[in-house]
Amino acid sequence: MSYQFEDVFEYNHITTTEIARGGQGAVFRTQNPNIAIKVELDPSGSEFSRDVKHNDRLDEIRLLPISKRINITLPQATLKEYAGYVMTLLDDMESFEKAFDYSFDDVCDYSNEWLDQFRETAPEFVEVIAQYLKSGGRRRRLEAYLRVACMLSELHASGLVYCDFSAKNAFISNVEGNNTVWLIDADNLNYQEKTRGSGFFTPGYGAPEVIRGKGCTFYSDSYSFAISLFWQLTGTHPFKGASMESDFDDDFADDKEELANSGEFPWIMDTEDTSNYIDARIQQNLVISNRLIRCFDRAFCRLGKEKRQTRPTMFEWSEVIAKELDLSVKCKCCEMDYDSSNDKCPWCDTETLKISLIAKKQGHIIWKYVRETGNGEAMLIPRRIVRGFRNTETEDYAFTIIDNNDEISIEDLDEMFEWSVSTDKGNSYIDIYGRTVIPNECTMKAIDKKSGETVVIEVRKI
227-246: average pLDDT: 93
Residue-wise pLDDT tens digits, 371-399: 998 777 899 999 999 999 999 999 999 99
346-353: average pLDDT: 95
Q: What is the DSSP string of 358-397?
A: EEEETTEEEEEEEEE-SS--EEEEETHHHH---GGGTT-E
Q: d(Cα 109, Cα 124) in Å, to the nearest integer?
A: 13
Question: Burial level of 313, CB count in 10 A (0-12/13-18/19+)?
Answer: middle
Residue 246: pLDDT band by 50, 70, 90 thresholds? low
Pair 217, 196: CB distance under 8 Å: yes
Give the per-residue pLDDT at 90.
79
HSE, CB side, 13 Å, CA atoms: give it for residue 209. 26
Pair 110, 90: CB distance under 8 Å: no
On the question of pLDDT at 370 being above 80, the answer is: yes
Output the CATH code of domain 353-461.
2.60.200.20
Give the per-residue pLDDT at 330.
95
Q: d(Cα 215, Cα 222) in Å, to the nearest integer?
A: 14
315-338: average pLDDT: 97
| Fold (topology level) of 97-323 | Transferase(Phosphotransferase); domain 1 (1.10.510)
Strand 430-432 relative to strand 397-403, pairing = unpaired
174-197: average pLDDT: 88
Give the per-residue pLDDT at 278.
93
On the question of pLDDT at 407 being above 70, the answer is: yes
Report how far apart, in Å, the C-alpha atoms of 2 and of each of 8, 14, 289 are: 20, 7, 45
DSSP 252: G
Q: d(Cα 5, Cα 80) in Å, to the nearest integer?
A: 8
Closest CA to 346 of 138, 106, 79: 138
Give the per-residue pLDDT at 96.
95
Q: d(Cα 114, Cα 92) in Å, to the nearest integer?
A: 32
Give the per-residue pLDDT at 335.
96
Give the per-residue pLDDT at 251.
52
Residues 267, 273, 279, 284, Cα dihedral to 10°: 60
Tell whether the torsion through CA atoms of 286, 289, 292 and 298 is positive or negative: positive
More confident residue, 235 or 252: 235
Residue 4: pLDDT band by 50, 70, 90 thresholds? very high
Q: d(Cα 22, Cα 169) in Å, to the nearest integer?
A: 8
Window from 120-124, 204-208, 244-248, 298-302 with minimum mean pLDDT: 244-248
The H or E element containing residue 209 is helix 208-211
Give the per-residue pLDDT at 20.
81
Q: d(Cα 329, Cα 332) in Å, to the nearest integer?
A: 9
For domain 4-91, which architecture applies?
2-Layer Sandwich (3.30)
In the chain, what are the domain boundaries?
A: 4-91, 97-323, 353-461
Residue 253: pLDDT band by 50, 70, 90 thresholds? low
**Over the chain, what is the mean pLDDT?**
91
HSE, CB side, 13 Å, CA atoms: give it for residue 132. 26
More confident residue, 60 or 131: 131
124-148: average pLDDT: 95
Give the per-residue pLDDT at 261.
87
The H or E element containing residue 255 is helix 253-261
Longest distance between any two alpha carbons in the chain, whole Å: 75
On the question of pLDDT at 319 being above 80, the answer is: yes
On the question of pLDDT at 406 being above 90, the answer is: no
Give the per-residue pLDDT at 268.
96
Closest CA to 169 of 16, 33, 19: 19
43-72: average pLDDT: 86
Pair 402, 411: CB distance under 8 Å: yes
